[in-house]
Amino acid sequence: MFLMKRLFCLAAIAAALMGQSVSAEAAGVELSVGQTGESTMTYRLGLQFDWDKSWLQSDVGRLTGYWGGGYTYWAGRHGASNNSLSFSPVLVYEFSGQNVKPYVEAGIGVAVFSGTRVENQQLGTSFLFEDRLGFGLRFAGGHEVGVRATHYSNAGLNDVNSGVESYALHYTMPF
């Protein structure tokens, strides 16, 4: 529990610093709940800072992105719980719409875990790479709901590299 509080404080400080150093159009708080392939529950609290950029804008939609950082608690059923901090740049293709805009997203970032194991998955190192794919809906006013698959592995930095995936539902509210 002490480690979890400490990691949460570090995540809050990192998010605050990230917000000061990144030009952002809008910001949001992300809450998500998910599950791994081994049924380990995941709970994430994150911050999202939209980029003040847009590419390939057309009648169909536009390409944009955001910086995402967060704290995730991995609730192991058999005592192999874990905590992680992550940071990723994420590309988003947002389809056109008035009040609702569907989107797809993909990103590659980094994560630091408090241990090298989640349930029966041996991660090999505490430093991992985060790959994410997702889709969802953005509503007028900045609220967002979506589904995301996130994969963590050490990319061969260690001989042990089982990796772990989380499949989550998320909600982001603007602030």
Instruction: Point out the residues that are catalytic.
Output: 151, 153, 165
Cβ neighbors of 20 (< 8 A, separation 6 or more) are none
Give the C-alpha separation, 81 to 71, whole Å: 14
Q: Where are the alpha helices (DSSP H) in 32-102?
A: none
Whole-number Å distance between alpha carbons of 175 and 163 = 33
Could you tell me the two tokens for 75?
């609730």
First CA to last CA distance, the chain? 28
